[in-house]
Amino acid sequence: MVERPRYESPVERAIREAQERGEFDDLPGAGKPLRIEGTDDPLWWVRQLAEREQIDFTGALPPAVALRKEAATFPESLLELRTEESVRRVLEDFNHRVRRDRLRPPEGRMPPLLAPTVDVEEMVGRWRELRASSQPLEVDPPVTTGEARPRRRWWRRRR
């Protein structure tokens, strides 16, 4: 039996009781060395936690870094958009957010980190090229004789 100290905090008592019940026996990794890599990095433990728990810290990035990271995904991230107008809207919104971020006062004595705006016309052109190369070739539609007209849906007839 382990000798108890005179005063035992509630936390120490809970740990001691769990040890006595054997709740810490046979834990995964028991008896194995700790995996400590890159100890010269002061945030090594945060990086390992994010990797192990698959945590995405992109929401915690400074705004300029998040904007730069978003710009690096253009135009591939825009492939799901169907029209040039929607692509232009997304890119103009991005440029608006970059300009708004530049109005923030600098933090500390470091020079401000700025995200560059994107050239909308160039990105739209690259989007067109990517979209053309990723879409399969269109096959001519079958020729119809015009005899069978598609039926109108009931909700369209009500108008």
Q: Rounded to whole angstroms, what are the CA distances from 115 to 27, 58, 75, 126, 148?
A: 46, 16, 17, 20, 57
Mind listing the pLDDT tens digit for each residue in 102-128?
A: 888 877 787 888 889 999 999 999 999
User: Is 26 within a domain?
Assistant: no
Give the sign of the dihedral formed by CA 78, CA 83, CA 86, CA 92.
Answer: positive
Residue 45: per-residue pLDDT: 79
Residue 93: per-residue pLDDT: 95
**Residue keyed to tokens 């100890």:** 39
User: Is 121 within a domain?
Assistant: yes
pTM of the predicted structure, to 2 decimals: 0.54
Count of domains for the chain: 1
User: Is 95 within a domain?
Assistant: yes
Identify whether the C-beta of residue 88 lies closer than 8 Å to the C-beta of residue 125.
no
User: Is 141 within a domain?
Assistant: no
User: Is 69 within a domain?
Assistant: yes
Mind listing the pLDDT tens digit for each residue in 38-70?
A: 667 787 778 888 888 888 877 888 888 889 989
**At how many degrees (to 10) do helices 63-72 and 84-102 cross?**
150
**Residue keyed to tokens 């905090």:** 9
Domain boundaries, position 124:
61-105+114-134
